[in-house]
Structure 1
Amino acid sequence: MQSIKVADYYNHRPVKFKATMPIETAVERLLQSGQTGGPVVDDLGTIIGFVSEQDCLQHMLTSTYQNEAHTVVGDVMTKEPLCVTPEESVMTLAENMKVDKPKMYPVCDEQGKLLGIITRAHILLALDKHLHCNYTSGHRFV
């Protein structure tokens, strides 16, 4: 199971954001994509942050009460997000995701360039395929 890699399951075309993007535009992108968050990249494609629905929700509430809307993604994003590499084990990542960890990780190369994202749903798919393969090949779990 340790041989199952992130590279086999991550989304290669995630919704991504720029730090200068208005928060309202980011919210529209999140709603259209169904993602719960996404990586923030610079002009070279290097990850510089992560913005989540929760980050946006706080801002949207404040904007609604104050009837203002001039915040950008860079104001609310998490800086220095946790990234994984394509070669990391799905099992190790699954262990990290179990408790109080992000539901989604950016997948980056060694230079910090964004390659995609991997979510809990991707991890569940990997585990399900592995268990199903073992079950149908005659392995039984006790």
Structure 2
Amino acid sequence: MVKSFQGVREVEPKAPVQQILVKDQMSTNLATFSPDDSIDQVLEVLTKRKISGGPVLDESGALVGIISQTDCLAEIIRGKYTNTVRFPAKVKEHMSTAIVSVSPDMSLFDVAQKFLESKFRRFPVIKDGHLVGQISLSDVIRAFPKLRHTTW
């Protein structure tokens, strides 16, 4: 029989779980659109800012939809059939109105799960009924390499 003479070991305290929230990763400098903006205007902003979509706000600042590059494709295809390179249709004709939003205090893991369960590439971030930002699939992907493997 072999006896161990190591004695009592001190238990190292566990590192706290690293909370990573939507508010820490969301974009707040958003390009927003009006329902009456033309698809031409949207395409110009999306191209200039190298983004794939943004929230649509009415005149009171309330979120009424989301417009994306995919939404704009319908107007681009229609331009092909009418032989025009102008896209005068209004945002309200093509925007998505089935808005799925998230809270700024939501875990990034929960948002990642929402992305997996939906076809959306961005979620507006709503606090107390007001748009405070937007979290995109790219924002989520960029956040995870920053996490320490011992605390998540």
The aligned counterpart of 2:27 is 11
CA distance in 2, matches of 1:90, 1:2: 11
Residue in structure 1 matching 2:138, options 121, 124, 127: 121
Partner of 1:107: 125
**Which residue does the alignment assign to 1:78?**
96
Paired amino acid for 1:10: M
Q: What is the root-mean-square deviation of aligned Cα atoms in Å?
A: 2.0
Structure 1 residue 90: Cα displacement: 0.5
Following superposition, the deviation at residue 140 of structure 1 comes to 9.7
Letter aligned with residue 57 of structure 1: L
Partner of 2:105: 87
Cα separation, 1, equivalents of 2:120 and 2:145: 20
Taking only the aligned residue pairs, the percentage that are identical comes to 26
CA contact (8 A) 1:41 1:114 kept: no
CA distance in 1, matches of 2:128, 2:18: 21
Residue deviations 1:74-111 (CA, integer Å, cap 9, x gap) = 01001131111111110000011124431111111221
Aligned pair count reads: 134
Q: Does 1:59 align with 2:101?
A: no
Q: Indicate conservation of the 8 Å contact 2:18/2:151, yes or no.
A: no
Output the CA distance in 1 between the equivalents of 2:91 and 2:74: 12
Cα distance in 1 for partners of 2:107, 2:139 equals: 13
The structure with the larger Rg is: 2
Distance 2:35 2:99 in 1: 14
Please, which runs of 5 or more residues in structure 2 have no aligned partner? 1-16
Q: Supply the distance in 1 between the matched residues of 2:107 and 2:31 (Cα, whole angstroms).
A: 24
TM-score by length of 1: 0.85
Where is the helix percentage greater, Structure 1 or Structure 2? 1
1:28-74 deviations in Å (ceiling 9; x for gaps): 11111111111101122211000110110111110232146431000
Q: 1:80 to 1:2 in 2, by over 3 A?
A: farther
AA aligned opposite 2:103: T
